[in-house]
Amino acid sequence: MTPETGVTGESRGGKAGGEPRTPSPLWSLGLFRSELSVTFRRWRTLALLAVLAAVPILVGIAVKIETSDGGSVGAGGPDGEGPAFIAQVTNNGLFLVFTALAATLPFFLPMAVGVVAGDAIAGEASAGTLRYLLVAPAGRTRLLLAKYATTLAFCVVATLVVAASALAVGALLFPLGEVTTISGTRISFTDGLLRALLIALVVAASLIGVAALGLFVSTLTSSGIAAMATTVGLLITVQIVDQIPQLHAVHPYLFPHYWLSFADLMRDPVYWDDLVRNLGLQALYAGVFGSAAWARFGAKDIAS
């Protein structure tokens, strides 16, 4: 038995005498590609992406109907009504990208990531395929890294789906042109588009902590549904704690606390303080829960 896989060297395709064969980097890349293919071909994943793509459509239609009826759109942000940037959508459809990301980041995006991450290991165990995955010359560490990398890829794809859907709807329903930053300065549409892409990447990076947490939870159980429900439940709990004023002392240490700091990329000059804090906090959560997932998965008795 090898400590990494829990199966014999011969079963892993080792050399004669039970000496394990070291997987090549190309084999590891093939494992990652296989995980990507399996994840993005699942109906559940496609349904999650469809829901995320629908959010900007609903927001854009709601804003269009409101303004067509002569109403006004709330200013958004901490002191206004509705998501941040929503008041600027009618003047420039590009702001629908920022609005959609602000609307989906608190719940929809992390929930989708939590579902994918929570199912990563537990889903294989409940389906009875985890042991067969470990028979191949992958090893537990490589398999775990492939699962986490796939979840991170989903973070990027999910965020870009929201941004692309919002951009298409914004261009269809509202005018496009120069962008007015939060600081009041005007930048070109191309510059605004580049900032929108940067914001989408920052939002995706803001989800790596949730991905690591979900992966850790996934190693604790053999039930994919239980892992997904637990991850989403923890996400909701942390979000509630972050909104309780009496617990302000712990707020800076909660992974969603700086999520909306991406709005600082729309300032001129850009405010980097909260952005750096957010990325640093996500890296910390990824390190802590990623290490915990590795330690737990390495010692896990694989019975299915």
Q: Which of 149, 144, 150, 142 is nearest to 24 (CA)?
A: 142
* Residues sharing a CB contact under 8 Å with residue 157, sequence separation 6 or more, in sequence order: 40, 49
Mean pLDDT of 81-109: 84
Q: Which of 115, 144, 108, 126 is nearest to 228 (CA)?
A: 115
The pLDDT assigned to 17 comes to 40
CB count within 10 Å of CB 276 equals: 12
Residue 53, pLDDT > 70, answer: yes
Q: Which of 2-16, 196-210, 213-227 has the highest mean pLDDT?
A: 196-210
Look up residue 238 and give its two tokens. 């942390």
Beta strands in 156-195 (DSSP E): 179-180, 186-187
CA–CA dist 259, 275 (Å, integer): 8
**pLDDT tens for each residue of 269-304:** 889 999 999 999 999 999 999 999 999 887 776 655
The pLDDT assigned to 69 comes to 62
The pLDDT assigned to 258 comes to 93
Q: Give the angle 249-250-255 at the CA atoms, nearest 5°.
A: 145
* Residues sharing a CB contact under 8 Å with residue 5, sequence separation 6 or more, in sequence order: 12, 134, 135, 138, 139, 140
Lowest mean pLDDT among 17-21, 133-137, 238-242, 267-271: 17-21
Mean pLDDT of 29-34: 82
Mean pLDDT of 91-109: 92
Mean pLDDT of 142-152: 91
Residue 150, pLDDT > 50, answer: yes
Residue 112, pLDDT > 70, answer: yes
Dihedrals phi, psi of 301, to nearest 5 degrees: -85, 110
Q: Confirm if 141 and 215 have CB atoms less than 8 A apart.
A: no
Q: Confirm if 224 and 299 have CB atoms less than 8 A apart.
A: no
Portion of the chain with pLDDT greater than 70, in percent: 81
The pLDDT assigned to 181 comes to 87
Look up residue 250 and give its two tokens. 């712990």
Residue 43, pLDDT > 50, answer: yes
Q: How confident is the model at residue 19 (pLDDT cuts 50, 70, 90)?
A: very low
The pLDDT assigned to 137 comes to 56
Helix (H) or strand (E) holding 39: helix 25-41
CA–CA dist 98, 54 (Å, integer): 15
Q: What 8-state DSSP symbol labels residue 83? A: S
Helix (H) or strand (E) holding 171: helix 139-173
Q: Which of 228, 4, 223 is nearest to 124 (CA)?
A: 223
| Residue predicted with more confidence, 256 or 304 | 256
Strand partners, 179: 187
Its sign, for the CA torsion 85, 280, 201, 265, is: positive
The pLDDT assigned to 18 comes to 39
